[in-house]
Amino acid sequence: MFSNTNVTLPALSIFPSLSLLVQKFIGTTGLESSGTESPPILDAILSIGLWLEHTDHFVAGPLDPTDYLLLLQTLSLVSANCPEPTLRHAAHILTSNILHAHPTDRLRLNFISDTLEHCPFEPLRASAVGWLKEELVRAHTRKSDDLFATPAAVAALQPYLFPYESMLDTETDSELWEDFRRTFPFHMAALNLIFFLNSEEYKSVVPEGSMSVIEEVYLMPLRTARGRLEKALKEGGELEKVFGEEVKGGLTEVRLLGDRLDMCLEQQA
């Protein structure tokens, strides 16, 4: 319909054009506020970004790693903070595509590592687990020789992917329940990654002996926490008196996590 128009499209690219737009309009009161801006502003910027990514307008001129990481961090925070589900999803897709497009494997790994180690938002940490899985699949499919085709990537991220399960350190059942609700997205992503890494196709990227360590420091403590939660959430229990109907949905999540946990432990046997 518009193929014969004489309108000249602006010469834009993700770097520096989108990067400058994001710096000007998103997170202007502090990086942590990214995603709280007016939805129309976020919608416009994300739409431009997705269009530029889709049409392969990535870089015009030298790419500063600092600008690259800042854009990723800002967009990823939009995907965590924005109250609009469609905009959160758009920000996640754009972040993922920009991340995977960078040619330097170490820079991509560093961003994933930084998100896993320092991000306070559990859904965003779960996204970082997904980014790792996507990198592993891409490296395997393309028969790449980068870091994600070797055990180095998983080895570098293992302490943040499969930490000692701190939920067991909580003193009360209420604290355990609150901690579980907060961390559920990350734990499901981590368990899915363990199941994925135990497949025949991807065992070669797992450091030797690491699965035994993961079972000891992560899976077994998580199983103990799961058992304690199931007992605490039973009908007529103390948590039901405190949280009411809310615990029924929580029990479903605990059982969902438990099913995936059991599958991972069966693989380990």
The pTM of this model reads: 0.93
pLDDT confidence of residue 167: 66
pLDDT confidence of residue 70: 97
Regions in the chain scoring below 70 on pLDDT? 1-7, 9, 165-168
Other CB atoms closer than 10 Å to residue 40's CB: what's the count? 8
157 token code pair: 């991220």
Give the span between the Cα atoms of 80 and 31, in whole angstroms.
12
pLDDT confidence of residue 156: 98
pLDDT confidence of residue 2: 46
Give the span between the Cα atoms of 32 and 30, in whole angstroms.
5
Reduced 3-state DSSP string for the chain: CCCCCCCCCCCCCCECHHHHHHHHHCCCCCHHHCCCCCHHHHHHHHHHHHHHHHCCCCECCCCCHHHHHHHHHHHHHHHHHCCCHHHHHHHHHHHHHHHHHCCCHHHHHHHHHHHHHHCCCHHHHHHHHHHHHHHHHHHHHCCCCCHHHCCHHHHHHHHHHCCCCHHHHCCCHHHHHHHHHHHHHHHHHHHHHHHHHCCCCCHHHCCCCHHHHHHHHHHHHHHHHHHHHHHHCCCCCHHHHHHCCHHHHHHHHHHHHHHHHHHHHHHHC
pLDDT confidence of residue 200: 94
Rg for the chain, CA atoms, rounded:
21
